Amino acid sequence: MILGIIHNRIGWEEKQLIEAAKKKKVDVSLFDSRRMSIDVTGDKSLYNVDLFLQRSISYTKGLYSTLALEAMGYQVVNSSKCQEVCGDKLKTTIALKQAGLPVPKTYLALSYNAALEALEELGYPAITKPLMGSWGRLVAILNDPASARAILETRETLGDVLHKIYYLQEYVNHNSRDVRVFIVGGEAVAAMYRYTIPGDWRSNATIGGKTEACRITGEIEEMALKAAEATHSEIVGVDLLEGDGIFLLNEVNHNPGFQHIASVTKVDIAGKIIDYLKHKASK
């Protein structure tokens, strides 16, 4: 098998995947998405690759390179269908809700004034998130109308029109932690708790949140697998919030890092990914 890995940097995860592929007799071809030019009118003779793994941290480069490769007949994991849903927080919330899964109360507002009105209905504190983005960037807690106006006014000055579409969510008191579940091909292979950063309210491991292994209960597994199915996902990180004794699905990350979860759980996630891709390519 020849695996193509699309990337725009070779980080810890990519190195682990390359090493795992070597151990499992899988050849790897690397493709830097920043240097790719793809003949979308061509066919599968362009690249000698059996299957592509999309690891570009750029949402747009990842999505559009996947669309082009799929048009030529290649299989890409995750698919463009998954990326389109998971790369947009509103689309993710809608997909989860339509699947009958519990999500935090969420509003969409299409202007500054509409956002302030929505917040009066939603109540404070509340969370605002960009429609697209990761690592907790531009996510902010709105504690009261004054802080809401200050933060939303800042969004209004940003150049991207998407920053002026407001995704607003209730603040869930989640016991200072959330749960990240790692899914590979319909299996919940590992889970970890992520604890709130001191002096912050976010728990992202990439910005310093403490992590520890989490036992995968039947409830956690069922919710995470249903979330992956609802978002057409194969290899994803599913985030759950513990709110008032129940779990709420927060986000589904279609290009998840796994350094922290592999470290605290001792699960060979890279190996499991390669095993799954080998199986998929052989079908």
Lowest mean pLDDT, pick from 14-18, 41-45, 68-72, 173-177:
173-177
Considering the chain, tell me which residue range(s) the CATH 3.30.470.20 domain(s) occupy. Answer: 173-275
Higher confidence at residue 208 or residue 90?
90
Position 60 pLDDT exceeds 80: yes
Calculate mean pLDDT across residues 31-55.
93
The predicted pLDDT at position 160 comes to: 79
Percent of the chain with pLDDT over 90: 81
Range 2-79 has CATH code 3.40.50.360: no
pLDDT of residue 212: 95
Residues of the chain with CATH 3.30.1490.20: 106-170
Could you tell me the pTM of the whole model?
0.91
Range scoring the smallest mean pLDDT among 116-125, 130-139, 152-161: 130-139
Whole-number Å distance between alpha carbons of 200 and 26: 42
pLDDT category of residue 66 using cuts at 50, 70 and 90 = very high
Question: What integer pLDDT is reported at residue 14 of this predicted model?
Answer: 98
pLDDT the model gives residue 105: 96
- The per-residue pLDDT for 47 is 93
For position 206, what pLDDT does the model report? 55
Can you name the residues that pair with 188 across neighbouring β-strands? 183
Taking only the tens place, the pLDDT of each residue in 227-249 is 999 999 999 999 999 877 789 99
Say what the pLDDT of residue 201 is: 53
CATH topology of domain 106-170: Dna Ligase; domain 1 (3.30.1490)
Q: What are phi and psi of 41, to 5 degrees?
A: -90, 0
**Residue-wise pLDDT tens digits, 142-158:** 999 999 999 999 888 87
Q: What percent of the chain has pLDDT over 70?
A: 94
279 phi/psi in degrees, rounded to 5: -65, -45
Q: How confident is the model at residue 43 (pLDDT cuts 50, 70, 90)?
A: confident
User: Per-residue pLDDT for 183 more than 90?
Assistant: yes
3-state secondary structure the chain: CEEEEEECCCCHHHHHHHHHHHHCCCEEEEEEHHHCCCCCCCCCCCCCCCEEEECCCCHHHHHHHHHHHHHCCCCEECCHHHHHHHCCHHHHHHHHHHCCCCCCCEEEECCHHHHHHHHHHHCCCEEEECCCCCCCCCCEEECCHHHHHHHHHHHHHCCCHHHHCEEEEECCCCCCEEEEEEEECCEEEEEEEEECCCCCCCCCHHHCCCEEECCCCHHHHHHHHHHHHHCCCCEEEEEEEEECCEEEEEEEECCCCCHHHHHHHCCCHHHHHHHHHHHHHHC
For residues 128-145, average pLDDT = 85
Report pLDDT for 42: 84
pLDDT at 72: 93
> Which pLDDT belongs to residue 174?
64
Taking Cα atoms as reference points, which of 24, 22, 31 lies closest to residue 49?
Answer: 31
Count other Cβ atoms within 10 Å, centred on residue 173: 11
pLDDT confidence tier of residue 205, bands split at 50, 70 and 90: low
User: Among the CATH numbers 3.40.630.10, 3.30.470.20, 3.40.50.1980, 3.40.630.30, which is that of 173-275?
Assistant: 3.30.470.20
Q: What is the mean pLDDT of the chain?
A: 92
Average pLDDT of 206-213?
Answer: 75
pLDDT for the residue numbered 5: 98
